[in-house]
Structure 1
Amino acid sequence: MVSTRTPGSSRPRGGSTGRSTTSTTPAQAVPPVRRGRPRGGPGHRSFPRQRGEEGPTSPPDRLNPAGLAGHRGVQLLGCLVAAGWAAGFPIVSDLSNQRLWGELAAPAYLLAGVLCLTLPRRLAARAGAAAALLGAVLVPLVVLVLEGRHQSEVMVVERSAHLLFTTGSPYLPDPVVVTDYNPYLPAMALFGVPRALFGDGNPLARLAGDARIWFALAFAVCLLASWRLLRPSRDRAPLLPLTVLTASPLVALALVGGGVDLPLIGLCCLAMALAERDRTIAAGLVLALAGCLKWTVWPALPVAVLLLWRLYGRRPAARAGLTALGAAGAVMLPYALLRAEELRDQVVRFPLGLTAIQTPAGSPLPGKVLAGFGPTGHIASLVLLTVGGLGVAVWLLARPPVSAIAAADLLAAGLAIAFMLAPAGRFGYLALPVVLVIWPRLAAGRWTGRPPVPPCLLSYPEPALPAVQP
């Protein structure tokens, strides 16, 4: 007789079944079955293997973000919306830089729509994206750089690098006018170093030294790296999605005018991707760098730590958190000890509107409107901001993220609430949470923040045991 048992089957119940079974020799022993570990255990994986190997239970996502963006109708609609948005700036904006951007970007978006509609499908998207990038980003950026026109934050960052080289601190000790304030943490001065090195003596030096160029490069590098980490396969290059995102009004206007928040967006996306892939030390270092640029991105640290804890356990989460705190502390501690008053007044109190000189940042957002009613409205804005932050913290603890998409969504929600309810905020700040929602989905190729394969189903088929003669 032969054995009919297969690996993993249980022994017969209730007595003999009339079949004889024989034990296998060590050489014939079946290797142990690889099964998923309990949620949160070390080495736990809540995503399929690399190279696009989806689990057997994950349904195909036919309407994935990249597939939806490939339809001509969606492309044309996006170009028309972008053109309408850009065309409004020459009419409603009182800032010359924004009016110039609108005058150049609106025709470029219309041309991109025509190309998407008329060219063959294999060329339409690339040609439309190139036209939008040229007209909405490259041309206006070069014009503004060569004319020396930019938002005040670009000048503040470039001046902070000069001060760092000459005085050892990126902060002016006694600010008198609003542009004397530097609301950024010390690492932001790194983006002003090219200006300090190249100067502005000729057009090439002005281009190479402009902080906006380096903001954009940091943004692109971080998004490309996060794409490579989150993409389950190499079947799609990230150049076209990155071009479309950069050429969109969401990023293009911010990049052309100032772009100071673009590195923050890229670093947050990269940190969540590294956390999902269990790159704990790298995630901690990226979080430390982001936290040394601007204090408003520090909520990314608990989000990434809880993502690591949920996927891989306490040790990786603690390792990433301690790495981030240690690296950031090494950068910030000298300034906290020697420049504590400047840090407090310029980095914290000034953005919150608590200094004698008020920040010029302002848009008709709820927090700004409340702050306009005087001290009572300002306090109400801060109270609502605190309540909103506590609500997001409760959400984070009650439902920790299980993927980079879910983590980015949580961080985007917290930042959106902060920007909406802060006493001083701009519509441009909302680019950060919007990109956090969009880019991880494009990279991962799915809408949902849930893992493609449930952790309990991360097992592999068992090989059949050949028949053994008695």
Structure 2
Amino acid sequence: MIAVHRAARAWRAADSAAGGLPLDLGLYAVSAAFAAVTAVTSTLPPHRAWGSVAAVGYLLAALAVAGQLLGRHRWPATATVRARAAVTGFAWATTALLPLLLQAVQRASGRTDRAQEEVVVVEDAGIRLADQGSPYLSHDAIAALPADERLLGYTPYQPGMALFGLPRAAADAWWTDSRVWFALVTALVLALAVTTLRQPGRPGAGRPAGAVLRGVQAATVLPVCALTLATGGDDLPVLALCLLALAFAAADRPGAAGVAVGLAGALKLFAWPVALVLLFWAVTRRATGRFTLGALGLPLAALVPALLVDRDALVENVLRFPLGHGLVTSPAQSPFPGHLIATALPAGRGVAAALLVAAGAAIAVRLLRRPPGTAAATALVCGYGLLAAILLMPSTRFGYLLYPLALLVWAPALRRPEPVSAESRTAALSRA
């Protein structure tokens, strides 16, 4: 716990230095290097295509921030934040949206190497949803596929994710690429989250614009997010809805928080731990009923049509396959500790599973003994909990780190601003 507090203090000090510009410069410079290395060394064609475009975008953003640093003494603090926000928007447009659109257009023109597998899976799920009322193939239908196509026959998402594939059922064009709709929903949801945090008249309104901007950067221009959106994208709407739920929690709107995280849970299981931690927050606000109505009701309602059409197909895709009991195994094998333990030690999968259970038990004890009473504390529990789970799961992806990273950086934007005393206001005016 002491190490966490020290890390938080160090982060706040780095983030507040020179109006946050040095940290911006470091973010874009390191991201440019990462994108350039990805363009040269990645074994995945969509990733190489992303890196070749994003490296230029990050480099231009870094140059813009360097110019802001040189001239920052001429501008008031509010102008600095607005300029940083403009660079953030430019960076997201050039490192996520532009590569996404280029790959979508190239794919529509016949390039089959311009999308990750999840794009195809979501679009096929949307087509099946439109044709037969369920996004899932049954066990027998997957078994009938050629061996090298069975992995793409699985849809390991909640039923709501298939909605992003519905445009492909209507037309085969660049704008029906599911990534386009992932990006659109992500942008709209993040805009609503920022508006919620900055809305006058709401509890805690007037949160520092710099903290909110840093949270937005973590969900947009951070390479793991920009790369994911441009090449695959299905995690970004889920993340954005989780951040919106926390923003609603910071504004003391438990019902809206439940709806937001419930929508996320209707898309992907990754939102369910966030919903669970938010439930403990709702208990401290005596709003369990209002929160649970959306948080639990929406995911359950999304499951009903698939259950009625083919219950076994739902279980095969949503439970058996993620748990490793499908016809094929998940290719998610990033070299995190859980995977290394599972593959390198005797009975390694059991050891990794035991560590994962122990981490989950520790978090459960923490929630029961000291449930989070604020949205910021909730975000920190979610962030550290998901980080531990991702590191300890035997099968996981590097890209999943976007969840804990964004949640942890989002936490300072959720804190209520401390009231400014008359003495502090007078001292600030005397220094001006």
TM-score, structure 2 length as denominator?
0.79
The equivalent of 1:43 in structure 2 is none
Asked if the contact 1:225–1:270 (Cα under 8 Å) also holds between the matched residues in 2, the reply is yes
Asked if the contact 2:250–2:415 (Cα under 8 Å) also holds between the matched residues in 1, the reply is no
2:188 to 218, 221, 237: 221
Asked if the contact 2:36–2:55 (Cα under 8 Å) also holds between the matched residues in 1, the reply is yes
2:136 to 171, 174, 179: 171
Q: What is the rounded CA distance, in whole Å, between the counterparts of 2:122 and 2:415 in structure 1?
A: 34
Whether 1:268 aligns to 2:242 is yes
Greater CA deviation, 180-189 or 417-426? Answer: 417-426
List aligned pairs for 1:438-457, cutoff 5 A: 438-442=409-413, 444=415, 452=418
Q: What is the rounded CA distance, in whole Å, between the counterparts of 1:445 and 1:132 in structure 2?
A: 28
* Unmatched runs of 5 consecutive residues or more in structure 1: 1-61, 447-451, 454-470
Deviation at 1:373, TM superposition (A): 5.0
List aligned pairs for 1:410-449, cutoff 5 A: 410-442=381-413, 444=415
The equivalent of 1:286 in structure 2 is 260
Greater CA deviation, 324-333 or 80-89? Answer: 324-333
Deviation at 1:211, TM superposition (A): 1.2
- Give me the CA root mean square deviation: 2.9
Seen in structure 2, the aligned counterparts of structure 1 residues 247 and 422 have a Cα distance that, compared at 3 Å, is same
Deviation at 1:248, TM superposition (A): 2.5
Higher helix share: 2
Greater CA deviation, 404-413 or 76-85? Answer: 76-85
Give the secondary-structure state (helix, strand or coil) at the position aligned to 2:396. Answer: coil
Asked if the contact 1:111–1:131 (Cα under 8 Å) also holds between the matched residues in 2, the reply is no
Whichever residue aligns with residue 223 of structure 1, its letter is L
The equivalent of 2:121 in structure 1 is 156
Seen in structure 2, the aligned counterparts of structure 1 residues 376 and 280 have a Cα distance that, compared at 3 Å, is same
Greater CA deviation, 384-393 or 318-327? Answer: 318-327
Seen in structure 2, the aligned counterparts of structure 1 residues 227 and 139 have a Cα distance that, compared at 3 Å, is closer
Q: What is the rounded CA distance, in whole Å, between the counterparts of 1:284 and 1:179 in structure 2?
A: 32
Whichever residue aligns with residue 289 of structure 1, its letter is L
List aligned pairs for 1:355-434, cutoff 5 A: 355-372=326-343, 376-434=347-405
Seen in structure 2, the aligned counterparts of structure 1 residues 216 and 182 have a Cα distance that, compared at 3 Å, is same
Asked if the contact 2:125–2:136 (Cα under 8 Å) also holds between the matched residues in 1, the reply is yes
Could you list the per-position Cα deviations for residues 205-261 of structure 1 after superposition, in whole angstroms to 9, with x for gaps in the alignment?
A: 41x212112212222222222223334228849679746752231311111111111
Deviation at 1:388, TM superposition (A): 1.8
The equivalent of 2:42 in structure 1 is 93
Could you list the per-position Cα deviations for residues 372-398 of structure 1 after superposition, in whole angstroms to 9, with x for gaps in the alignment?
A: 359933333333222222221112212
The equivalent of 2:424 in structure 1 is none
Give the secondary-structure state (helix, strand or coil) at the position aligned to 1:372. Answer: helix
Could you list the per-position Cα deviations for residues 373-431 of structure 1 after superposition, in whole angstroms to 9, with x for gaps in the alignment?
A: 59933333333222222221112212211211111111122222222222221110010
Deviation at 1:99, TM superposition (A): 1.4
Q: Say which structure, 1 or 2, has more relative contact order (CA 8 Å, 6+ apart).
A: 1
Q: What is the rounded CA distance, in whole Å, between the counterparts of 1:351 and 1:69 in structure 2?
A: 46
Whichever residue aligns with residue 154 of structure 1, its letter is V
TM-score, structure 1 length as denominator?
0.73
Whichever residue aligns with residue 316 of structure 2, its letter is D
Q: What is the rounded CA distance, in whole Å, between the counterparts of 2:188 and 2:414 in structure 1?
A: 14
List aligned pairs for 1:204-215, cutoff 5 A: 205-206=173-174, 208-215=175-182
The equivalent of 1:20 in structure 2 is none
Seen in structure 2, the aligned counterparts of structure 1 residues 416 and 349 have a Cα distance that, compared at 3 Å, is farther
